[in-house]
Amino acid sequence: MYIGIDVGGTTIKYGLLTTTGEVIEKQAIPTPKERNAFIDTLVDLVNQLAAKEDIQGIGISMPGIVRKDGYLLTAGSIKELDDCPLRDILLEKTDNKYPIVIENDANSVAYAEKWIGNAQGRDNYVCLVLGTGVGGGIVINGDIYRGAHGMAGEFGWMLIDKLPPQGNIESASANYRAAVVLGLCQQYNQLKLAENPNFEPINDARIIFDTEDSDPFAAFALKNFYRDVAITLLNLYVSFDPELILIGGAISTNPYFMERLRETVEHYSKRHNSIAYLIGKTIAPIKATYLQNDAGMIGAVYRLHQQINS
Would the CA dihedral through 62, 189, 219, 206 be positive or negative?
positive
Alpha-carbon distance of 55 to 223, in angstroms, equals 48
What pLDDT score was predicted for residue 31? 95
For residue 64, give the nearest of 99, 11, 105 by alpha carbon.
105
Helix axis angle for 216-240 and 186-195, nearest 10°, is 150
For residue 61, give the nearest of 126, 129, 99, 14 by alpha carbon.
14
> Domains of the chain (ranges plus CATH)?
2-111+293-309 (3.30.420.40), 121-288 (3.30.420.40)
Alpha-carbon distance of 145 to 191, in angstroms, equals 38
Alpha-carbon distance of 106 to 124, in angstroms, equals 16
Cβ count within 10 A of residue 62: 27
Which amino acid does the sequence have at 189?
N
Predicted TM-score (pTM) of the model is: 0.91
Backbone angles phi, psi at 224, to 5 degrees: -65, -35
Give pLDDT tens digits for 189-246: 999 999 999 999 999 999 999 999 999 999 999 999 999 999 999 999 999 999 999 9
Give pLDDT tens digits for 249-307: 999 999 999 999 999 999 999 999 999 999 999 999 999 999 988 999 999 999 999 99
Confidence band, pLDDT 50/70/90 cuts, at residue 79: very high
